[in-house]
Amino acid sequence: MDFHELRVMTIAQLREAAEGVEGLTGYTQMRKNALLGHICRHLDIPMHDHRKVVGIDKSTTKRQIRELKQQRDAAIAAHDGDELKRVRRHIHRLKRRIRRATS
């Protein structure tokens, strides 16, 4: 059982699952978010979805973003609006590329 499977369960299904978890009490009175958290902690299940980036090199793209952020700071200090706009757009495009490649 993983976090995604638990997250899509109804509260009734989560309560049934909680019956089998040793040491978990008070689950009949909990709301879904609290119950989900307690079940994950008792079963040592990470509470976030791991997503894979497919088709691009994420570390290279993130390095480019860090370099562009330095250029952005320099453009702000120099009051260069055109350069600032160009760098911000480039950062935005790279971040969108990462989001699109995330499955």
In single-letter form, the type of residue at position 39 comes to: I
- The pLDDT of residue 103 is 67
64 and 97 co-located in one domain: yes
Comparing CA positions, the residue from 47, 41, 48, 46 lying closest to residue 21 is: 41
Average pLDDT over the chain reads 91
Which residue range forms the structural domain that includes residue 91?
Answer: 58-101
Local structure of 89: helix, strand or coil:
helix
In a domain, 49, yes or no: no
In a domain, 26, yes or no: yes
pLDDT (average), residues 8-26: 90
- The pLDDT of residue 89 is 98
Per-residue pLDDT band for 49 (boundaries 50, 70, 90) equals low
- CB-CB contact of 12 with 32 (8 Å): no
pLDDT (average), residues 93-102: 94
- The pLDDT of residue 47 is 82
In a domain, 9, yes or no: yes
Token readout for 58 is 């994420």
- CB-CB contact of 94 with 68 (8 Å): yes
37 and 65 co-located in one domain: no
62 and 97 co-located in one domain: yes
36 and 63 co-located in one domain: no
